[in-house]
Structure 1
Amino acid sequence: MGIDPSGDVIVVGGGVIGLTTAVVLAESGRRVRVWTREPAERTTSAVAGALWWPHLIRPKALARHWALQSLSVYEELAARPEETGVRMVEGVLGESRLDEQGSWAAARVPGLRASTDEEYVGTGLWARLPLLDMPVHLRWLRERFLRAGGAVEVRLVTELADVAAPVVVNCTGLGARELVRDQAVRPVRGQLVIVENPGVTTWLASTDSDTGNSTYFFPHGDRLVLGGTADEDNWSLTPDPAVAAEIVKRCAALRPEIAGARVLGHRVGLRPVRDTVRLEREPLADGRVLVHNYGHGGAGVTVAWGCAREAAALASR
Structure 2
Amino acid sequence: MESALHGDVVVVGGGVIGLTTAVVLAERGGRVRLWTREPAERTTSAVAGALWWPYRIEPESLVGDWALESLLVYEELTARPEETGVRMVEGVHGGIRLDELGPWAARVPGLRAAHAAEYTGTALWARLPLIDMSVHLPWLRERLLKAGGTVEERTVTDLAEVDAPVVVNCTGLGARDLVPDPAVRPVRGQLVVVENPGITTWLTSVDHASATSTYFFPQPGGLVLGGTAEEDAWSLTPDPAVAEQIVARCAAFRPEIAGARVLEHRVGLRPARHAVRLEREALPGGRVLVHNYGHGGAGVTVAWGCARQAAGPAGPAA
- Decide: shared fold, TM above 0.5: yes
C-alpha contact 1:17 1:304 (8 A) present in aligned 2: yes
The answer to whether structure 1 residue 67 and structure 2 residue 67 are counterparts is yes
Taking the aligned partners of 2:210 and 2:285, their CA distance within structure 1 comes to 50
- Cα shift at 1:178: 1.2
Asked if structure 2 preserves the Cα contact closer than 8 Å seen for 1:96 and 1:125, the reply is: yes
Percent identity over the alignment is 76
C-alpha distance in 2 between matches for 1:276 and 1:210? 18
Which residue identity lines up with residue 40 of structure 1 in the other structure?
A: A
CA distance in 1, matches of 2:173, 2:46: 15
CA distance in 2: counterparts of 1:178 and 1:208, whole angstroms: 30
Written as runs of structure 1 = structure 2, the 5 A alignment for 1:41-60 is 41-60=41-60
Residue 215 (structure 2) pairs with residue 216 (structure 1)? yes
User: How far 1:116 sits from its partner (Å)?
Assistant: 1.6
Paired residues for 1:43-192 under 5 Å = 43-106=43-106, 108-192=107-191
Matched position secondary structure for 2:200: coil
What is aligned with 1:263? 262
> Offset of 1:119 from its aligned partner?
1.2
In the alignment, the residues of structure 2 paired with residue 37 and residue 4 of structure 1 have an alpha-carbon distance, to the nearest angstrom, of 24
Query: How many equivalent residue pairs?
Result: 316
**1:209 to 1:4, Cα distance in 2 relative to 1, 3 A:** closer
**Structure 1 residues 211, 277: CA separation in 2 closer, same or farther (over 3 Å shift)?**
closer
1:284 deviation in Å? 1.1
Quote how far apart the aligned CAs of 1:103 are: 4.6
The match for 2:230 is 231
**Deviation of residue 122 (structure 1)?**
1.4
Q: Supply the distance in 1 between the matched residues of 2:166 and 2:229 (Cα, whole angstroms).
A: 34
| Aligned equivalent of 2:307 | 308
| Consecutive unaligned residues in structure 1, runs of 5 or more | none
- Per the TM alignment, residue 210 of structure 1 is displaced from its structure 2 partner at its CA by 8.6
- SS of the equivalent of 2:96 reads coil
User: What's the CA shift for 1:240?
Assistant: 0.4
Q: Secondary structure at the match of 1:275?
A: coil
Amino acid at match of 1:30: G
- For 1:53 and 1:285, the matched residues in 2 are separated by 39
1:210–1:36: structure 2 CA closer, same or farther, 3 Å change rule?
A: closer
Q: Could you tell me whether the CA contact under 8 Å between 1:109 and 1:128 is conserved in 2? A: no
8 Å contact kept, 1:281–1:292: yes
Moved beyond 6 Å, runs of 4+: none
TM-score after normalising by structure 2: 0.96
For 2:18 and 2:209, locate their aligned partners in 1 and report how far apart those are by CA, in whole Å.
37
Cα displacement string for residues 99-153 of structure 1 (whole angstroms, at most 9, x for unaligned residues): 22345423x2232111122211111000001110011100100000000000000
Partner residue in 1 for 2:194: 195
Distance 1:315 1:149 in 2: 23
Question: Partner amino acid for 1:13?
Answer: G
Q: Which runs of 5+ in 2 are unaligned?
A: none
Considering only aligned residues, what root-mean-square deviation do their CA atoms show, in Å?
1.5
The answer to whether the 8 A contact 2:189-2:268 is kept is yes
Paired AA for residue 268 in structure 2: G
What amino acid is the match of 2:260?
A
Q: Residue 13 of structure 1 corresponds to which residue in structure 2?
A: 13
Give the Cα–Cα distance (whole angstroms) in 1 for the partners of residues 126 and 252 of structure 2.
21
Q: Distance in 2 between matches of 1:309 and 1:30?
A: 13
Q: Which residue of 2 aligns with 1:22?
A: 22
